[in-house]
Amino acid sequence: MTAVHEDTFLTEEFEAIARAVAHELEGVQLEFIGGRLGVKRMPDGDHGEILNWLLLLLMPLHPKMFLHVIGQGLAVGPYRKGRARPDGILAPLHAFRGAGEWASTEDVLMAVEVTSHDSDTNRRDRVDKPIAYAQAGIPIYLLIDRDAGAVVVYSQPEDNGYQDVHSYAIGLEVALPAPVGITLDTEELKDLAD
C-alpha cells in the first residue's frame, strides 16, 4: 500500500480513481485506509469457499442478519474518510439498499477479512483494517488468517483500535462476542487455510 497524505488526496478523488480502475481493470479493487491507497486483488477459490462456509454457518444462527460478500464498500476510519471493501459484512439483509458504493457502517455488526497470499496482506488486514474498522465503530472484526493458521476476533472498538483481541488456531471453536454472540467450529477451515 502506498501512503498518500489526506491533505493532497481527497476522498472524492480516491472514489473517482477507484471507479475508473474497476471499470478498466477486471479483478482489481482499490481501498483508501489510514491515508494509504491499496490494491485489493480478486480472491482465489479457497478464499471464496471460506466466505461461503461462514455464510452458511451464520444464516441459521442469525436469521435477521446476512453476510454480505458482494464487495460492498464502507466508509471507515477517522471522520469516515477511509474507504474499505471487507470480504464480508454481517448486517441486516437490506442494510445497503440505496446506500451507494461506500455505505455507512451504522448497521454493521461484523466486518470479515480472509487473508490473501500477497505482499500487502500484513499491513492491510492485520494493521490498517483493525484500526479503521474500530474507528468506524464496527463491533467485531473477524480475521481469518490463512498464513498464520489462525482466526482472530477483534472486539470492543475504540478510536485507537480494538481493545479485545483473541487469536484461535484454525480447527478450534471460536467465540464471537455480542452483538453476534455465537461460537464457530473452525475444523472445516483446516483444508481451506493452506
Quick one: cell of 102?
461506500
List the domains of the chain with CATH numbers: 44-191 (3.90.1570.10)
Q: Are strands 102-103 and 73-76 parallel, antiparallel or unpaired?
A: parallel
What residues are paired with 99 via a beta bridge? none
**Of 159 and 63, the one with more pLDDT:** 159
pLDDT reading at 52 higher than 70: yes
Cα 90 to Cα 1, 39, 159, 194, distances in angstroms:
26, 23, 21, 25
pTM of the model: 0.81
Number of Cβ within a 10 Å radius of residue 74: 27
Q: What confidence category does residue 163 fall into, taking pLDDT thresholds of 50, 70 and 90?
A: very high
Return d(Cα 47, Cα 145) in angstroms, integer: 11
Return d(Cα 180, Cα 45) in angstroms, integer: 27
pLDDT reading at 5 higher than 50: no
Quick one: cell of 137?
465503530
Helix (H, G, I), strand (E, B) or coil at 49: helix
